[in-house]
Amino acid sequence: MSKRDELIAKYAADMKEKCGVTADHDLLTKVVIGLGPSVYNADASTVSGTDKSELETIKKNFLMGKLGLSESDGLDAAIDSVIEKYGKSNRNKYRAVVYYLLVKHYKKESVYS
């Protein structure tokens, strides 16, 4: 099993355990591939749910840049909803899981087709 496959399995298990969501393996794989080498970096692979600048980066670079959403799409509320679902007290929020949940929230799976 490759390192990427191990990470995808870890993210899927984390999503199931902490969010009660069974991952679409193909979509999760595409999200992980889209994140590139950041998934292999301990700091870059996680999200701090309380760091305003990090949440702003998710909004601008991922939601607006990658998914093509606008401020009027309720981006802050969606991020808050995903962080809440993942568990605010959970210190290890994997970026791939947060992005996956945001893709599902906005039904933007077509971006990864």
Q: What is the pLDDT of residue 89?
A: 85
Work out the percent of the chain whose per-residue pLDDT is above 70. 100
Residue type, 82: V
CATH classification of the domain holding 47: 1.10.238.120
Taking the C-alpha atoms of residue 42 and residue 105, their distance in angstroms, rounded to an integer, is 26
The residue range of the domain holding 46 is: 3-112
| Rounded CA separation 41/44 (Å) | 5
> In this predicted model, what pLDDT tens digit does every residue of 15-70 receive, in sequence order?
999 999 999 999 999 999 999 999 999 899 999 998 999 999 999 999 999 999 99
Judge whether 11 and 93 are in contact, CB under 8 Å: no
Task: Determine contact, residues 102/63, Cβ cutoff 8 Å.
Answer: yes
**102: nearest Cα among 88, 89, 80:** 80
Put simply, whether the predicted model's pTM sits higher than 0.85 gets the answer yes
- Our count of domains for the chain comes to 1
